Each structure stands twice: as structure tokens, then as C-alpha cells.
Structure 1
Amino acid sequence: MRNPFLACAAVVMTAAALAACGSSADGNDPEAAGAQRPAASGPAVPGPSSPGPSASGPSASGPTADAPAGDGPGAGGPAAGGTTDQGPKTPADEITPATGTFTEKQKKYLEDRVPKGMDPAAVLQTGQETCDKLRYLVKADRDTAVGAIAANEITDAADAVAGLCPQHQDLVDEAAYAYPDGAHTGKTLRPGVYRSASPTTKCSWQITGAGGEELASGSSDTGASRKITIPGSARSFTSTGCYAWLPEGNKG
């Protein structure tokens, strides 16, 4: 069962999301002063759709923009390159819009990202839509925005944020320390206090130590956020239906 907030947001998203975000105080809209933006529908709202565990685990690295999947915080974080990683790319000096011009920021984002033969405006639109999603989500519920990045539901967040909407870098940084649903094991587990972001009504978790000894476990059928503590002695942490666990306090 999806979090009630997300269910309501999905109903109004198509008609009102961009209108609600249009007056954003961030003052850094990616399409400002650039090429004509293709028409698009409002951003889809990410959120937990299933209580099943995620296949990806967290990465051992800190809050880097391109944290790979692994066994430490941030595995559900952004995947670099979006859908443009395959095949030869258009040289930077050949990337031009059909009409108008690209801003320097947009040109930087498009470098080594536009497959040969593809309209660069389409690639740019993907990044702009990612920024739109983040801008909407952070206004509605910041934890859901961070959780969507951590759960890898906004796969190109790191690149879009770095190139087009850097005002949201804090979301990417926090997501790098979060744990999406799934099994996380090994020395890369980071001790600390975590809160669940947009859990379903079938949220459950378990923390085990050496030899598989259970250190803590719990469940919640209310959909309300819960807090847990991962101790230094933890060797595995498994979460199902909780969407993502975000760090509390210092993340060093």
C-alpha cells in the first residue's frame, strides 16, 4: 500500500505539478535563458510501490555523485548517465539545438551525453524533468525526495543536479548515506540512527550481528515513519516495505 501522501500527490500531479513548482524560490530553473524546452507532462511522483526488497545494495563510498551499487550507504543512489551511456557520442562542439541556443550550464550537462543522431534537446529534457521531479518532491515532502534518489527511482539525479539544478545537491548527498529496501551486509554498514522515508503498511526490518545473532527487528503497519539504530556490531541490515532509511544527525 502506497503512503497516503504519495497516493494523493499522484492524483494531482499531471494537472498541477509544474504549475505549483513554477514559482519556485530556487531561482535556478534549468530551462531559463536557454533553448526552447519541448512540451512535456508533469513529473511522475516516485514512491514505494511494493514492499519487496530492492535488488541493489548501498555503496561503501560517501556522498559522491556517481556512487556505484555495492554494500554501503547510497547504493540506491543515482546511476550516472541515464539512458545515454550506449554508443558513440556527439562531440561537444557539434551539440546545437534546432532553434535558439544552449546556456553554458546546459552545454556542460550535455557533454559526452548525446548519442550520435539524437536531438540534444531530448537529452536535455530528460535532465530538466528530473530537476522538476526533485523540485516538486522537495516542496511536498523532503524525505520522499531523498528516498526516491536512494531507492534509485530517479536514476539520473546526480548528473541532473550537478549540471542543471545544483540547489538540490544536498538531496543527492544525503541519499548517498541512505539505505533503500533490501539486504545490506559487511563492514560498510554505517552505525547510526536512521528514519524510514514513506514506508508502506508492510514495513519490516532486521539487524543481525556476528554469527547471525539478531540485534534488533521490528515492523509497522501504520505507514508512519519509524526510527532505528544500527550499532557498530551490526553485520547485516535487511529492510522490506520501508522504501528507504535516511540518516539522522551527523553523517560523517
Structure 2
Amino acid sequence: MRTAHPRALRRATAAGALTVLLALAGCTSGGDTKAASSAPQRVSDDQAAAVPDDEASPAPQGSSSPSKVPVLPDAQLTPATGSFTAKEKKYLHGRVPKNMDPAAVLQIGQESCQRIERTAAHDKNAAIGALIAGEIEGADDAIIHLCPKQRPLLDAAATGFPDGTRKKPKPGTYQALTDAKGCTWKALGAGGRVLGSGPGPGNGTKKVTAKVPAGTTSFVSSGCYAWLPV
């Protein structure tokens, strides 16, 4: 399985146009509340400790120890009616807490796919920016298993990085995935020496670009949402 892209420093300054697109894409029809109403029951520490490792959910990204929340074994991943496809079962593996409907967990992944697809239909770069910034929960696994047609977006997102501080960025020209004013950046070298700064081209009229020279040890930005190589 593909390693999840780092998610760091999510910014409240995500630009107006992208924010609107993401909000629209997050809407679902029919008012389904099944996933929200099927929350797993609380498990005591003693119960959790008794769960075999192969029935414990995977550790969260960056965690040094496995999570001990009991999950359904694969043999019990069955919906109330019908059956899951092989891809759906792979997505659900190790992901469904006991006492929770597997179909509700699957629905969360399907809604992530719908949000990505709807956003990309309006603006491909907005969808890529959302993936880079971690705006869509569980998007990586959802794309890999449930909507593989969106894999090119995930691959593109892997080449970018979110707003904030990026250590040792690859030299090149990058574009900020926002139209908002106030995007600023600095390329810093050894000893904190400024090698380049901006906003440069853009500043509200078009997307800001930044040239990261060789020798850059840190790239620091604010109000830029996410960066993608040009």
C-alpha cells in the first residue's frame, strides 16, 4: 500500500475559491446519517489489551505503537444485504471497529471519493491541493481501493507539499494552489540566509510562483495553501 503523504500545518487561510469548491464537493445527496449514527462503542483498557494483534486497527500515521481498538476480522466483513467487492474488502481490512456496520465505514470512503471527483470536475488543481493539504480525510486509501481512476491526482499531490515549512525542498519552480492575496514565501539557505522571497508573480491577479534555488535548506510560506511543481 502506498505510504500516506505527510500532512502538516493545515492553514485556515485556504483560499476563497478553493474553499468554496471543497465545500460544494463535500455535500452529499439524500442526507445520509448512517455513518454518523453508527459510532463504535467505547472499549475499556482491559478489553483492548485482550485483542489479538491481527484484530487491532492499524496505528495512526506517525504513531510508534499499534492501536488496540478492536476491529472486525475479515471473515465478518459482510453487509446486511448483498456482498462487498474484492476492492471494497481490501479497503475495509483492519478499518472497521467491532459493533460498527462495515457498510457505514465503506460509505465514508465512498464519500471521500465523491468529494475528490466533484472537486476535480470543477478544478483539477483544487482537488490536488486538497490532497496535499490533507483536507479530505482518508483520501489516499479511498482513492487506491475505491476510486482508482483518481490515482493521477494522488500521484500529482505526492510531488507537492503543504503551506508552512518544508525542509530541503527539491530545487525548481513551484506554484501556490490559491488565488488568495497574502501568500508569501522565503527560500532559506545555510545559517538562515535568504536565497529568495516573494510573493513574486501573482499577489491576487494569478497564482504565485516561487523559484527554489539549489542549496535551499528550508522553504517557508504563509497563506499559500499548497505548492505544486510547475
Tell me the TM-score normalised to structure 2 length. 0.72
Match of 1:109 in 2: 91
Match of 1:146 in 2: 128
**For residue 123 of structure 1, what is the aligned residue in structure 2?**
105
Query: 1:39 deviation in Å?
Result: 5.3
SS at match of 1:177: coil
Report the AA paired with residue 136 of structure 2: I
Distance 2:24 2:162 in 1: 26
> Which residue in the other structure is 1:235 paired with?
217
Count matched residues.
Answer: 186
Which among 209, 227, 230 is matched to residue 245 of structure 1?
227
Q: Residue 147 of structure 2 aligns with which residue?
A: 165
- Residue 246 of structure 1: CA displacement? 0.6
**Deviations 1:95-121 (CA, angstroms, capped at 9, x unpaired):** 111122212221121111111111101
Alignment-derived partner of residue 172 in structure 2: 192
User: 1:230 deviation in Å?
Assistant: 1.2
Alignment counterpart, residue 5 of structure 1, candidates 5, 14, 17:
17
| Aligned residue number for residue 222 of structure 1 | 204
In structure 1, how many angstroms separate the alpha carbons of the residues matched to 2:31 and 2:82?
A: 16
Residue type at the aligned position of 1:149: L
Q: Any idea what SS the aligned residue of 2:174 has? A: strand
* Structure 1 contact 199–243 (Cα < 8 Å) conserved: no
Are the equivalent residues in 2 in contact too, given 1:143–1:198 (CA < 8 A)? no
Q: CA deviation at 1:224?
A: 2.6
Paired residue type of 1:194: Y
Partner residue in 2 for 1:60: none
**Cα distance, 1:143 vs. partner?**
0.8
Q: CA RMSD in A?
A: 2.6
1:40 aligns with one of 19, 32, 45: 32
CA distance in structure 2 between the aligned counterparts of 1:169 and 1:89, rounded to whole angstroms = 27
* 2:192 counterpart of 1:208: no
Task: Say if 1:86 and 1:141 are closer, same or farther in 2 by CA, change over 3 A.
Answer: farther
| Partner Cα distance (1:154, 1:240) in 2 | 21
What is the Cα deviation at residue 171 of structure 1?
1.2
Q: Aligned in 2, Cα 1:154/1:185: closer, same or farther, shift over 3 Å?
A: same
3-state SS, counterpart of residue 148 of structure 1: helix
1:177: how far off? 1.7
Deviation, 1:200, is 2.3
Structure with max Cα Rg: 2
TM-score normalised by L of structure 1: 0.66
Sequence identity, in percent? 40
CA 1:86 to 1:244, structure 2 compared with 1: closer, same or farther past 3 Å? farther
Distance 1:206 1:232, change over 3 A: same
Secondary structure at the residue paired with 2:129?
A: helix
Structure 2 vs 1, CA of residues 163 and 234 (structure 1 numbering), >3 Å: closer, same or farther?
same
**What amino acid does structure 2 have at the position aligned with 1:232?**
A
Q: Structure 1: any 5+ residue segments left out of the alignment? A: 20-37, 42-67, 70-84
Give, in whole Å, the separation in 1 of the partners of 2:144 and 2:106. 13
* Distance of 1:145 and 1:11 partners within structure 2: 12
Would the aligned equivalents of 1:197 and 1:243 in 2 still touch at CA under 8 Å?
yes
Q: For residue 11 of structure 1, report the CA deviation from its aligned partner.
A: 7.5
SS state at 1:242 partner: coil
**One-letter code of the match for 2:122?**
A
C-alpha displacement at 1:161, in angstroms?
Answer: 0.6
- Choose which of 71, 77, 81 in structure 2 pairs with 1:99: 81
Asked if the contact 2:14/2:224 (under 8 Å) is kept, the reply is no
